[in-house]
Structure 1
Amino acid sequence: MKALRYLLIFFSVLLLLHPGFGQKSAVRIDDSDTLKFTSSVLLEIDSVQLYSGIQAIINQALDSAAFPGCQVLLAKQGQVFYYESFGYHTYDSLRMVNNSDLYDLASITKVTAATLALMKLYDEGKFDLDRTLGYYFPFLAKSNKANLSIRKVLAHQSRLKSWIPYYSESQRKNGRYKRKTISNDSTSSYPYRIPGSDFFLYKEFREKSIYRMIKKSKLYPQEEYVYSGLVFYLLPQLVERLSGESFDDHLNQKFYMPLGAQTLGFEPMKRFPRSQIIPTEVDTFFRMSKLHGVVHDEGAAMMLGVSGNAGLFSNAYDLAKVFQMLLNGGTYGEQKYLSRETINEFTSCQYCDLDNRRGLGFDKPLIEYDSIKTSVAKLASPESYGHSGYTGTLVWADPKNQLLFVFLANRVHPTRANRKIYQLNIRPKIHDLVYRLIEEGKEGRP
């Protein structure tokens, strides 16, 4: 056992040279508070139990076909002590997952794009959490949503409908698409190809259809916690209006590029070969194709791949940079991105007294722990925050324990009907293991 421990330490040092760890960046970043790589032993975390424990959990997932492959990254106090990829892109086992490969982050986009942009605008005094939807979106000023506060909307406490299936709402009863929605042919009125399909979108579909459906949607009768993605379709336009930049350019210039997060962004095939991008679902009900290199979420596809609700792609390391910046209190590489006060505001539970665990955009631990319903460890502190993604992804940051956990997978391949990642509790099992080993390391100190 002792020999195995020393061998793991040796390999941990070698991993510093692994291309997935030390990704070269075209952006020069001072490394004083950036992610660094270390051995778990140096953090008093038992390497043997860490590596064998995670391997056993992932093996169970792969053997059960919970997903074809995944990436797992763990960092403590800004030091990455575990970063591994497992399995394959798909079940044909032709291409192994590498640390440099990109996953569809799904709803992690809500906090790593839309919410992040709002935090910047809030810091700059350009955005007020206690204004209403009617104030920021004039087309809603005479709707039933006019007086819904932004704070409640971001905390999923606003009575907004959970979701709208825009593609099916655009169909007639006979299956044909309504005028000025979707067409099989590209014309001047239908100039945009829907990502991953042979359909073309009406030139004003966002304003004439998506915005209109949101405006006309009914509210739930009672104000309580209901997860809703509707406002995240509207936020890119708000960010553009308040910042004077396009949504994706604003994020690239203010966050992703200066962070050196090269793989993090929308529309990955504009920057990376398809072979570096992990496929998601084989769509048999809308786009009728294997979704590879294009956004999985149908709503984000109707936003042409750039949306506030979904659409970001990344590897685990570049996603970790954003959340390490948040854990650092808003700095990374000695550059200031956000104030600590803004981070605390957005990541704090807003309506815990109403049995709503959410922050502003960010998810939080369950108010009452339930091992079946959670995606994170029981020992995750109440201060911790993050978000999960429908494709099988999760990012979680714990400022009290200075622990960062990133898990990326494509559990929706080849079908979203596969729920084994939840049934087997894969993500919380890994998270629980790490917290337990950290606690044991503390107890073992002289």
Structure 2
Amino acid sequence: MKSKFVRIIPLLLILIVVVNCATNKVRQKAVVKTEHDSIKTNSVKPIKKEIPQFDYVSTTTLEKKWVDSIYNSLTVEERIGQLFMVAAYSNKDSAHIKSLDKLILEQKIGGLIFFQGGPVRQAQMTNRFQKLAKTPLFIGIDAEWGLSMRLDSVNRFPWNMTLGAVQDLKLIEETGKQMALQSKRIGVHFNFAPVLDINTNPKNPIIGNRSFGEDKEKVSDRALALMTGLQRNGVFATGKHFPGHGATSTDSHYTLPVVNFTQEHIREVELLPYKKLISKGLASVMVAHLEVPSFEARKGFPSSISYPIVTNLLKEELNFKGLIFTDALNMKGASNFKSPGDIDLAAFLAGNDILLFPENVPVAIQKIKEAYDIASITEERLASSVKKILQYKFKAGLKNQKPIELTNLSTQINTQEDEALLYKLYENSITVIKNKLAILPIKELDQEKIAYVKFGDDSHETFFETLKKYAEITEVSNENLDSLLAQLNDFNKVIIGFHKADGAWKKHDFTAKEILWISEIAKRKKVILTCFVKPYALSAIPSFENIDGVIVAYQNNEIAHNVTAQLIFGAIQAKGKLPVTINDEFKVNHGLSTEKINRLGFTHPQNVGMNPFILTNIDLIMQKAINEKMTPGGQILVARKGKVIYQKSFGFHGYDKQVEVKNSDIYDVASLTKIVSTLPNVMQLYDKKTINLDSKLGEMLPVFKGTDKENINFKDLLSHYARLQAWIPFYKKTLDKNNKPSDKYYRKTFSEDFPFQVAENLYLRKDYQDTILTLVANSKLLPKKEYKYSDFTFIILKNYIERATGKSLDELSEKNFYSKIGANNTLYNPLQKFDMSIIPPTEDDNYYRYKTIQGYVHDMTAAMEGGVGGHAGIFSNSMDMAKIMQLFLQKGTYGGQRFFSEETFDVFNTCYYCPDGNRRGIGFDKPQLGKSGPTCGCASMTSFGHTGFTGTMAWADPEQELVYIFLSNRTYPNADKNLLSQKNIREDIQQVIYDAIIHEN
């Protein structure tokens, strides 16, 4: 039998263990409580002892019921799991996905914040994870300028700094809306935007372009607009980085930045955006990892785990009731301070609701559970955050969580609305900060010789190509400064483009060499400096004294390039204001307005009331024409309300498919010559009263005196109502018995007696010009007066114009119109200026010239006139043709110049004989009066234009403010079958254009 002492020993051991456990628990509780109390003792103002229980004031009964039911169904550990939002990537391997599966299944985490990847992959992962989750997950993304900040294959909205230059806040709200629609489509509930930091430090390494600027009011207004756009469209906004990261000089990803402002300064400046947005319903705030000594006395203590900053300042003083996120807890500004788990616990104790990007969730949950077990974290405190999280999940629609539909996802997040908005944003942001002697916009193009010089290491192609759509621009480059300056001697203006890669954190600095070279160029030439970089970059330039124009374009992308070129040439006016200070001369909110002159611009179809999806049918029709060999290729352009909204090239120069058609290629426009060369020169003579509608042919040209045509009046002549024959094959009289060019009329080389080149190595006799006009004068009139289209009209007018002015028609058209409107690709005899390679051929001629006709006018009579006909001979591209048609649409003005009066245009655009069944205006063709005609039948009767034998069409409609250009070489290789006309290709495309007009109810 054992002694009593032996029997007592086990009981004593048990008692010792119990005492030790209790002591350890008390000690552990004391440690946590001491740390918690130390936070309270460093408060800047008294705090409440109890954090109030979750407030249901703004909830509905249904919402409260759902929140309570979910909360009550969770264990304590699962409730704690709701506090965590874990990093997810859709561009990582299966091991990453499985690790997230485990956290969702085992730790019951509350949400995911997605980073790099792609939209479809992210949506697929989101569907997978939501299916696994016991409680639906919050999905967040840090997408300050839209999903493209993190995901590939998505439209990119401008940086906040760019938006900071925009004065129309409705556009910024629209940006928030489109960002929200992108996010919702892939199942995102929180966008960690807008950035509310006031960027007062130009050298801030982490904020910079992410800020709306340095003006607290402007930042507040723009942030509020973006927040409104996000939250009105179903995505929660997150203001960041509380209490303000804009003045820092270090990056919290790598260290703990210090904010050395007083409390008063922070309240007046940094906190102003928070106050405004909180008063308007901001859903959440992200707390930064910053050292803010004026609010947190403990040295090196991050704001993200500071009770005085999170609870006292944000929750109590600012009365913020929404969700509070920490910044990412893996950032060195936090992780250097405490280890994983400890930092999470400290952040929760400080008053944060959601712990973002934790490094070790199981350890963090364990730490928080231990604090809960010893009542350092009360049930009320835990419920306050978890029920708030569940309430926001209810508001996000997670009660009825459905899988994301993957069909058409890519097209539905890259919308036409996005692209239309981008044009508006850049049009409203580009900022002119200097405009000496109104160098902007460039006006008198015929007086300018402009060079373009590129600096920086990123692409400039779209900028340069768009500049060339307005004027003849020569790119000049050289590795040697002296050589470069010598090359610039022949130019009177230099546009300098500074291009740096479009990245929010990339350096945009000028090199010392670039600053020197810009200075040296500006000393010698009128310079327009255009900077596709953040405005701070310009602060390195010591003096702008010799630089005449300075443009801040903010970002180096295609739309910024396009819009800036438009501004330089006056298609749009400057509207932006600097969001930050560059130097003492160019301070925040500085920005000059420039003049808008009526030149064609460029934009998205929706911005001028056109449906871009319907316009895609143009591509189908044109491809059909090419596939069925109606034409080898062509160019099509559509402009509305002064903006080009569709410009494409199709197919090849020939059916051998050797040379693709480009927008810059030039076509033989055939009879369009009548309205783009001869007619505007006639209109100027009419404007000067040199001629009138009653002028007679016998008075205009002596050759018609005494003929049966001498009394034909100007109105009848141009209305094709003068009984003239359609045409005469003049060339046939110059062929020999073998139907080859006769030696009597032709030579193989140029000479004074044989000056008119009709093809390669073929020159016509000088005196045959008079013969052509004599043959016209002696031709028989048609037996009755009726509409009959005739080339004679414009053959006659060419001779009249040249006689009246003493100058050749090609010289007049170039001097009076093309050089002034920037139609630098429009001319007669293009081989005198351009290489044959950019000119599609028009025919393999086996009846007159016996050559492939390429670069020489197709029309035989115009060829016999040395390529300069009144009825044919012009070569051009779609852009130049559109400029001329826009000039007509604007009734004689273009680029700030007037070429003829409105009254004159109205006279020429009148159909005088419509009651008699003749649809023609004075020189212009007009819509058909019956079933057949040149248009789709959808154009208004005020519309006008012309078609051409080579397969061309130019048409304008004042009522719809439309310009339509169709250029092709349907005559190649053989002109006999006009399938393009028979199949109504040009007309069907015109019908699509009218169908695309969005009619407002």
TM-score of the aligned structures, taking structure 2 as reference length: 0.42
* Superposition deviation, residue 167 in structure 1: 0.7
* Distance (Å, rounded) in 1 between the aligned partners of 2:418 and 2:838: 29
* Distance (Å, rounded) in 2 between the aligned partners of 1:176 and 1:68: 28
Pick closer, same or farther for the CA change 1:412–1:327 going to 2, 3 Å. Answer: same
Give the SS at the match of 1:194: strand
Give the conservation status (yes or no) of the 8 Å contact 2:727–2:791.
Answer: yes
Give the SS at the match of 2:975: coil
Partner of 1:229: 791
Partner of 1:404: 963
Partner of 1:131: 695
* Distance (Å, rounded) in 2 between the aligned partners of 1:122 and 1:299: 26
Find out whether 1:261 has 2:823 as its counterpart: yes
Give the conservation status (yes or no) of the 8 Å contact 2:756–2:865.
Answer: no
* Superposition deviation, residue 311 in structure 1: 0.2
* Superposition deviation, residue 194 in structure 1: 3.2
Give the conservation status (yes or no) of the 8 Å contact 1:194–1:302.
Answer: yes
Equivalent position to 1:291, from 826, 846, 853 = 853
Pick closer, same or farther for the CA change 1:34–1:16 going to 2, 3 Å. Answer: farther
* Superposition deviation, residue 19 in structure 1: 2.9
Pick closer, same or farther for the CA change 1:350–1:172 going to 2, 3 Å. Answer: farther
Partner of 2:390: none
* Distance (Å, rounded) in 1 between the aligned partners of 2:604 and 2:750: 57
Give the conservation status (yes or no) of the 8 Å contact 1:73–1:83.
Answer: yes
Find out whether 1:61 has 2:507 as its counterpart: no
* Superposition deviation, residue 16 in structure 1: 7.0
Give the SS at the match of 2:918: coil
Q: 1:362-373 counterparts in 2 under 5 A?
A: 362-368=924-930, 370=931, 373=932
* Distance (Å, rounded) in 2 between the aligned partners of 1:200 and 1:271: 19
Partner of 1:72: 636
Partner of 2:759: 196
Amino acid at match of 2:607: L
* Distance (Å, rounded) in 2 between the aligned partners of 1:248 and 1:265: 7
Pick closer, same or farther for the CA change 1:231–1:50 going to 2, 3 Å. Answer: closer
Q: 1:317-356 counterparts in 2 under 5 A?
A: 317-356=879-918
* Distance (Å, rounded) in 2 between the aligned partners of 1:20 and 1:377: 31
Partner of 2:668: 104
Give the conservation status (yes or no) of the 8 Å contact 1:9–1:47.
Answer: no
* Superposition deviation, residue 171 in structure 1: 4.1
Greater fraction helix: 2
Give the SS at the match of 1:82: strand
* Distance (Å, rounded) in 2 between the aligned partners of 1:344 and 1:107: 22
Give the conservation status (yes or no) of the 8 Å contact 1:16–1:38.
Answer: no
Give the conservation status (yes or no) of the 8 Å contact 2:928–2:935.
Answer: no
* Distance (Å, rounded) in 1 between the aligned partners of 2:787 and 2:409: 50
**How many residues are matched?**
436
Give the conservation status (yes or no) of the 8 Å contact 1:300–1:311.
Answer: yes
* Distance (Å, rounded) in 1 between the aligned partners of 2:905 and 2:848: 38
Pick closer, same or farther for the CA change 1:338–1:192 going to 2, 3 Å. Answer: same
Partner of 1:374: 933
* Superposition deviation, residue 74 in structure 1: 0.3
* Superposition deviation, residue 20 in structure 1: 6.5
Find out whether 1:4 has 2:411 as its counterpart: yes
Give the conservation status (yes or no) of the 8 Å contact 2:945–2:956.
Answer: yes
* Distance (Å, rounded) in 1 between the aligned partners of 2:734 and 2:893: 44
Partner of 1:43: 608
Give the conservation status (yes or no) of the 8 Å contact 1:281–1:413.
Answer: yes
* Distance (Å, rounded) in 2 between the aligned partners of 1:388 and 1:130: 27
* Distance (Å, rounded) in 2 between the aligned partners of 1:420 and 1:176: 29
Give the SS at the match of 1:70: strand
Give the conservation status (yes or no) of the 8 Å contact 2:611–2:996.
Answer: yes
Q: 1:310-321 counterparts in 2 under 5 A?
A: 310-321=872-883
Give the SS at the match of 2:947: strand
* Distance (Å, rounded) in 2 between the aligned partners of 1:200 and 1:190: 9
Amino acid at match of 1:203: K
Partner of 2:234: none
Measured against aligned partners, the alpha-carbon deviations of 1:184-236 in whole angstroms (never above 9, x if no partner) come to 455867422532254332221101x2022112110001010000111312322
Identity %: 35
Partner of 1:309: 871
196-205 or 144-153, which moves further after superposition? 196-205
Equivalent position to 1:272, from 834, 842, 856 = 834
* Distance (Å, rounded) in 2 between the aligned partners of 1:204 and 1:211: 11
Give the SS at the match of 2:796: helix
Amino acid at match of 1:77: K
Measured against aligned partners, the alpha-carbon deviations of 1:15-50 in whole angstroms (never above 9, x if no partner) come to 975937852514895432110100012223221221
* Superposition deviation, residue 248 in structure 1: 1.4
RMSD across aligned positions (CA): 2.3
Measured against aligned partners, the alpha-carbon deviations of 1:366-387 in whole angstroms (never above 9, x if no partner) come to 112x2xx333222200000000
Equivalent position to 1:33, from 598, 605, 608 = 598
Give the SS at the match of 1:86: strand
Pick closer, same or farther for the CA change 1:150–1:64 going to 2, 3 Å. Answer: same
* Superposition deviation, residue 9 in structure 1: 6.0
Pick closer, same or farther for the CA change 1:162–1:29 going to 2, 3 Å. Answer: same
Find out whether 1:154 has 2:600 as its counterpart: no
* Superposition deviation, residue 403 in structure 1: 0.7
Structure number with greater CO (CA < 8 Å, separation at least 6) is 1
Pick closer, same or farther for the CA change 1:188–1:35 going to 2, 3 Å. Answer: closer
Give the SS at the match of 1:195: strand
Partner of 2:517: none
* Distance (Å, rounded) in 1 between the aligned partners of 2:946 and 2:750: 39
Partner of 2:147: none
Partner of 1:23: 469
Structure 1 residue ranges without an equivalent (≥5): none
Amino acid at match of 1:396: W
Amino acid at match of 2:926: K
Amino acid at match of 1:346: F
* Distance (Å, rounded) in 2 between the aligned partners of 1:383 and 1:25: 30
Partner of 2:768: 205
TM-score of the aligned structures, taking structure 1 as reference length: 0.92
* Distance (Å, rounded) in 1 between the aligned partners of 2:783 and 2:726: 13
Structure 2 residue ranges without an equivalent (≥5): 1-407, 424-460, 474-567, 572-596
Pick closer, same or farther for the CA change 1:272–1:10 going to 2, 3 Å. Answer: farther
Partner of 2:579: none
Partner of 2:216: none
* Distance (Å, rounded) in 2 between the aligned partners of 1:101 and 1:354: 41
Give the conservation status (yes or no) of the 8 Å contact 2:942–2:957.
Answer: yes
Give the conservation status (yes or no) of the 8 Å contact 1:121–1:243.
Answer: no
Give the conservation status (yes or no) of the 8 Å contact 1:265–1:314.
Answer: yes
Measured against aligned partners, the alpha-carbon deviations of 1:346-378 in whole angstroms (never above 9, x if no partner) come to 11112112110001111000112x2xx333222
* Distance (Å, rounded) in 2 between the aligned partners of 1:132 and 1:211: 16
Amino acid at match of 1:246: S
Measured against aligned partners, the alpha-carbon deviations of 1:63-107 in whole angstroms (never above 9, x if no partner) come to 101101111100111111100111111111111111000000100
Equivalent position to 1:425, from 984, 991, 994 = 984
Pick closer, same or farther for the CA change 1:264–1:302 going to 2, 3 Å. Answer: same
Give the conservation status (yes or no) of the 8 Å contact 2:741–2:848.
Answer: no
* Distance (Å, rounded) in 2 between the aligned partners of 1:177 and 1:257: 36
Amino acid at match of 1:4: T
Pick closer, same or farther for the CA change 1:102–1:185 going to 2, 3 Å. Answer: closer
Measured against aligned partners, the alpha-carbon deviations of 1:279-306 in whole angstroms (never above 9, x if no partner) come to 1111010000000011000000010101
Give the conservation status (yes or no) of the 8 Å contact 1:375–1:425.
Answer: no
Amino acid at match of 1:38: T
Amino acid at match of 1:23: K
* Distance (Å, rounded) in 2 between the aligned partners of 1:185 and 1:95: 29
Pick closer, same or farther for the CA change 1:10–1:22 going to 2, 3 Å. Answer: farther
Give the conservation status (yes or no) of the 8 Å contact 1:388–1:394.
Answer: yes
Give the SS at the match of 1:411: coil
Give the conservation status (yes or no) of the 8 Å contact 2:740–2:848.
Answer: no
